[in-house]
Amino acid sequence: MRFDPKDYLHEKRASFHSRYVTGWKSQALFEFITFGIKQGWACLFGGLMLAMLIGTYLFYPETASLARYDFITVMAILIQGLMLFFKLETWEEARIILIFHIVGTVMEIFKTHMGSWIYPEASVLQIMGVPLFSGFMYACVGSYIARVWRIFDFRFNRFPPLKWQAGLACLAYTNFFAHHYLPDIRWALFAGVILLYGRTVIWFKADEEHRPMPLIIGLFLVALFIWIAENLGTYARAWSYPGQEAGWHMVSLAKLGSWYLLMLISFVLVAWVHRPIRKHTTT
């Protein structure tokens, strides 16, 4: 009989669960810990990239022949390759993540040209002054959403038609460019998010049962953690916003809204792959 590590881990987990989880308090604690572990595993790509940004900021030699930004790009490609080699991402998911990578890089080129932020260090692997690793920062978001969807076995109540979601995501992406020349419609976009997703419930499985959460809140929590990661990224001078040249300070909370809308694009792209399963419940 061939040894299957997944079956072995499932048996060990079942044995631990039956031995130590004996009431609602221990069940709640067990699910809380399991939730944290699964979340950490889902954001593996993003966690490794963030660790690399901080690690190279602290320890990368200034005299190295390979620029720090170029080293980050090479390592990001290696990480993505290993994710596929070890089947931590599917090729179909990788193609969707690549689309988000390209979408993000195009926006990076435009935004740096408009002075929204800068990349203060030199690099060879770049496009129009934008280092290629920047696209992988968007890929991290796509990778997280794709993996967390599978790991937590998402189910949905009242999931809106994908064509409506795609329309809202396209408007959000267009506004990132258009607001430099036309009125900013982000508040109308937030209203659209509420109208579209206000009744949508996401069901996630941290342990043996699915638990509900309003999708709007779930997306906000993800945007919040991305904002925290962005603060660490700017501290490591991976990029800098106006006013951070003389000294680091926290990124404006207004960026939370930007990440919420940008993450919506990634969410819709991943939804096209996973084709959401509807939860059969009267809740």
Annotate 78-108 with DSSP letters as a single string.
HHHHHHHHTTSS-HHHHHHHHHHHHHHHHHH
**CA–CA separation, 195 and 261 (whole Å):** 14
Averaged pLDDT of the chain: 88
- How wide is the angle at C-alpha 217 spanned by C-alphas 262 and 227, nearest 5°? 45
Q: Categorize the per-residue pLDDT at 246 as very low, low, confident or very high, splitting at 50, 70 and 90.
A: confident
Rounded Cα distance, 96 and 92, in Å: 7
Contact between 283 and 201 (Cβ < 8 Å): yes
pLDDT-derived band at 181 (thresholds 50, 70, 90) equals very high
pLDDT band at 90; cut points 50, 70, 90:
confident
CA neighbor of 33 nearest in space, from 20, 47, 50: 20
DSSP 8-state secondary structure symbol assigned to residue 199: T
What percent of the chain has a predicted confidence (pLDDT) above 90?
A: 68
> Comparing C-alpha atoms, which of 113, 144, 132 is closest to residue 225?
144
3-state secondary structure of 240: strand
Q: Write out pLDDT tens, residues 125-151.
A: 999 999 999 999 999 999 999 999 999
Instruction: Let me know: does 251 contact 231? Beta carbons within 8 Å.
Output: yes
Please answer whether residues 229 and 50 qualify as being in contact, where contact means their C-beta atoms are separated by less than 8 angstroms. Answer: yes
The pLDDT value recorded for residue 230 is: 94
Supply φ then ψ for residue 156, to 5 degrees.
-135, 150
Contact indicator for 122, 81 with CB cutoff of 8 Å: no
Question: Sorting pLDDT into bands at 50, 70 and 90, what band is 57?
Answer: very high
Chain-centroid distance, C-alpha 48: 13
